[in-house]
Amino acid sequence: MRKMEKAKAICLVEKKEKPGMEYAFWQTYRNLGNKEWKLTYGSNARVNICPSCGKIGFHFNAEKGEYSCGAPETVTARELGKRILNHVRKRLETGGAAEIQCF
Ligand SMILES: [Zn+2]
């Protein structure tokens, strides 16, 4: 298993299905190199998901160069570990597969 500190990013993927469609939502934690990981959100659904807060909407203010909802959250490696375990537990409890990508 790869050491967590060596991974550039870890992505927790959640899939939601509607008849004929499957959407994926994901949280990407990027290694900032100082034991902190920056969280951003993404989705392949046809809605704008704010990368900073994960809610539907477009919150980036290009003039100010910042998000109106605040800067993306950063977490410690320990907190990220907890979230990964939580992700796996929730997926298993709901009968789904836990998908975690490491790159
Ligand atoms: Zn936002």
Distance in angstroms (rounded) separating the CA atoms of residues 78 and 35: 9
pLDDT, mean over the chain: 91
Gap from CA of 59 to ligand 1 centroid (Å): 5
pLDDT digits (tens, 9 = 90+) for 63-88: 999 999 999 999 999 999 999 999 99
- What is the length of the chain? 103
pLDDT digits (tens, 9 = 90+) for 14-34: 988 878 888 899 999 999 998
What per-residue confidence (pLDDT) applies to 5?
Answer: 54
What per-residue confidence (pLDDT) applies to 94?
Answer: 87
Cβ neighbourhood burial of 85 (10 Å; 0-12, 13-18, 19+): exposed
Gap from CA of 38 to ligand 1 centroid (Å): 14
